[in-house]
Amino acid sequence: MDLHLQTDWQRAVGQRVEIWKAGKLSRSGTVEAAMPDNSILWLSAEGAATREMIHEADGWQVFAHFKAGPGAQ
């Protein structure tokens, strides 16, 4: 499974992602919702982690997991 920068946060809704800032992993989770302009997304509550709002303007990056399918290079 590969990790890819997801600049269109709307496409990440329902996906398992990693949230990074300044080259450091902050949290993993499932994207619950995202603003149409990609300014904010919400990660679902999971285990001890509460629902969290992520602001793009604060420098956060979203990396999505994709499985390589047949014919992928």
- Look at residue 22 in the predicted model and tell me its pLDDT: 95
- Look at residue 67 in the predicted model and tell me its pLDDT: 57
Q: How confident is the model at residue 70 (pLDDT cuts 50, 70, 90)?
A: low
Looking at the DSSP assignment, which residues form a beta bridge with residue 27?
19
> What are the extents of the domains in the chain?
2-66
Q: Which residue has the higher pLDDT, 24 or 68?
A: 24
- Look at residue 73 in the predicted model and tell me its pLDDT: 44
Could you tell me which residues come within 8 angstroms of residue 29 by beta carbon, excluding any fewer than 6 positions away? 16, 17, 19, 43, 44, 46, 49, 52
* Six token digits for residue 3: 């990790």
CATH class as words, domain 2-66: mainly beta
pLDDT tens track for 15-40: 999 999 999 999 999 999 999 999 99
Residue 59: DSSP 8-state: T
